Structure 1
């Protein structure tokens, strides 16, 4: 498939939840979450201020906003998973990702979020690796998405990790940076 044939909004395709989740899929999700900090860092390595200020697609976020969004989103994910592990199917609060992407802290150096993601993912992976079968089946209720098990959340955020890295690498390849 040519670069021009790839939808820059979803360069790896949309997330599709499996009907059932296997232990191997959980292990794969954990591996992806463990690899994200290095993959994201590599994806933005060497980009200039101007390049980081470039939207990954027409009307999309800048690459800087994408990096900060991953940190925001994954912090929320870890909190939701911890709530699911310590409460009985709690209702979690959604947030307006687009509004967060417009807040002033999105102009911060990406290094801040890269370091945050590194530490957050180390703890997240440690937590997920410790779970027993019943803990994987616990979950939370999302007002917009409905019930989400811990195992589904892990797969979703593994996809989310690959998704945003691909947005950056797709733009880099398209622009020949």
Structure 2
């Protein structure tokens, strides 16, 4: 793996287990639960200069990463609710790279999204912990990937997403 690839995917790509167990799900949900507080603690002493640090050349700034996580996790929460209430809904993808350039990302204080993540994850975790195996089998269709994702797999992907971007923030802080 090249240095740039390592910086882009510092924890590697998401690897779906062959069989998703209750132990996987419990750990993944714990990651999702703890993510907002982990971000908050990591960035508690951030200075004005901190927010513009990047984790790799041409990568997002810490400010963009925080707002991206809020955007992504809001979309995830909605996707879960759609999958639980509709028959295999086709979700709407979005252009993350374009969203990262909008004024609500580039000029709004990161604490706004950290607070949003705290509230959003509080609700999301309640929903996730309430799911039974038949609920976790519900799925949504992602048209960009051309595949169906069941909710058990999606929990794992968002565990990965939390750890992936937290690591990006840690790398950026060291830059």
Same fold (TM over 0.5): yes
Partner of 1:30: 29
Residues of 1 paired with 2:66 and 2:170: CA distance? 12
Q: Say which SS state the counterpart of residue 141 (structure 2) adopts.
A: strand
Residues of 2 paired with 1:88 and 1:62: CA distance? 38
Deviation at 1:171, TM superposition (A): 2.4
Q: How does 1:48-59 map to 2 (within 5 A)?
A: 48-59=47-58
* 1:109 counterpart = 2:122: no
User: How many pairs does the alignment contain?
Assistant: 171
Residues of 1 paired with 2:141 and 2:19: CA distance? 19
Q: How does 1:3-152 map to 2 (within 5 A)?
A: 7-106=6-105, 107-145=107-145, 146-152=147-153
Q: Say which SS state the counterpart of residue 89 (structure 1) adopts.
A: coil
Residues of 1 paired with 2:32 and 2:154: CA distance? 11
Residues of 2 paired with 1:13 and 1:114: CA distance? 25
* CA-based RMSD: 1.4
Partner of 1:158: 159
14-23 or 30-39, which deviates more: 14-23
Structure 1 residues not aligned, in runs of 5+:
none
Q: Say which SS state the counterpart of residue 24 (structure 1) adopts.
A: helix
Q: Is the 8 A contact 2:142 2:148 kept in 1?
A: yes
Q: Say which SS state the counterpart of residue 126 (structure 1) adopts.
A: helix
Residues of 2 paired with 1:41 and 1:120: CA distance? 14
41-50 or 139-148, which deviates more: 41-50
Q: Is the 8 A contact 2:62 2:172 kept in 1?
A: no
Structure 2 residues not aligned, in runs of 5+:
none
